[in-house]
Copies of this chain bind each other. A is one copy, B any other.
Amino acid sequence: MKILFLGFGNVARRLAAIVTDEGWPSRRGTFPVEVVGLFTASRGSLAGAVDLARARAELEATGRFDARHPLRTDMTPLEASRNLDYDVLVELSPLAIEARGEPAVSHIASALARGRHVVTANKGPVAFAYRKLAALAETQGVRFLFESSVMDGAPLFNMARVALRGCRVEAFAGILNGTTNAILCHMERGGSLEEGIAAAQAAGIAEADPSHDVDGWDGAAKTAALANVLMEADVTPFDVERRGIGSVSVGEVRRALAAGRRLKLVCRACRREGAIQTSVAVEEVAADDPFSLVDAYGAILRIETDLMHPLVLTQEGPEVMDTAYGVLNDLMEIAGTAERKGEEP
């Protein structure tokens, strides 16, 4: 499988570690990996037959690809998606709210339009352009997969695709933003909002500008992505009713805790009068609600359907390895599909 990487941060490097490990060929669902390009926003880019293990080591040692690297290129990611010879575009850039998911949406669209599969861990394209991109993939007979965009690698979308068939998703609720959850947990232990943010930054989780998390934008993007995929909504993060944790005081957090309850930032969607209502807001959660057990960076999603009692999926303490695994699982899905078609993956 010929892969073009757009983005080569922590997730991509962890993925590289798995597929270049000597145990890789013995795993189930394994496939041969050939990297034909590796593009970063500010650390230089490579085009050609990339040695993945070496590229990873180089980036981790020196922080960038040397200008004298023989594969070093000045091609843009859009040019690469249009011109390089690959089977799968692996898009791993961060969420861009103000730019409405761009430039990732254009990179993905250009790959799909060429009949190439796309895997992304970026929720932006699913939150802003799911309908368009899914239709393009369908027309071209290729896959557009994004398991890691919500709840890291927890098999949410893969599960929904094969395991909620025939069901109508009526509603969902989730704790989906680890940074704000960790900040609220920090405040329960007596810290301030600012200290909670600083702790999340020190742990390498929150962005330098934490407003995307704190103001609920990340949650809104995940809510929109889930509503678009699970409920056939056609919403963007701007349509999600959104209240972040910025105005939550330590007093409120501690008062709830004293009453045996916890404050959580909860993402919700439900059908009401023919429309799909979406929201992100701080809620008080009772002690006998599984949401109250979600600590730090953990995540939970409760799905209500018309043919089953509610299902709850929880991921305990996800980290970068989980996100990388979600991308890997999507690649395995593509490799398996191609295999079923009798093509060489």
Contacts and interface: CB of A to CB of B under 8 A. Distances in A.
Interface of A: 18, 27-30, 147, 153-155, 158-159, 161-168, 287-290, 293, 307-319, 321-322, 325, 328-329, 332-333, 336, 340
B29 A165 contact: yes
A202 B316 CA distance: 37
A247 to B, nearest CB: 28
Given A18-B307, A293-B288, A333 B155 contact: no
B321 A310 contact: no
Contacts of A328: 166, 307
Contacts of A319: 309
Given A307-B321, A307-B325, A333 B29 contact: no
Nearest to A161: B162
A155 B166 contact: no
Contacts of A333: 162, 165
A325 B167 contact: yes
Contact of A311 (B27, B289, B313, B340): B313
A13 to B, nearest CB: 15
Contact of A159 (B159, B288, B309, B340): B159
B27 A166 contact: yes
A223 B315 CA distance: 22
Given A164-B329, A166-B332, 17 more contacts: A18-B307, A30-B166, A153-B308, A155-B164, A155-B311, A162-B333, A165-B329, A166-B325, A166-B329, A307-B325, A309-B315, A310-B315, A311-B313, A311-B314, A312-B312, A313-B314, A314-B314
A312 B309 contact: no
Contact of A165 (B154, B289, B332): B332
B154 A311 contact: yes
A309 B153 CA distance: 9
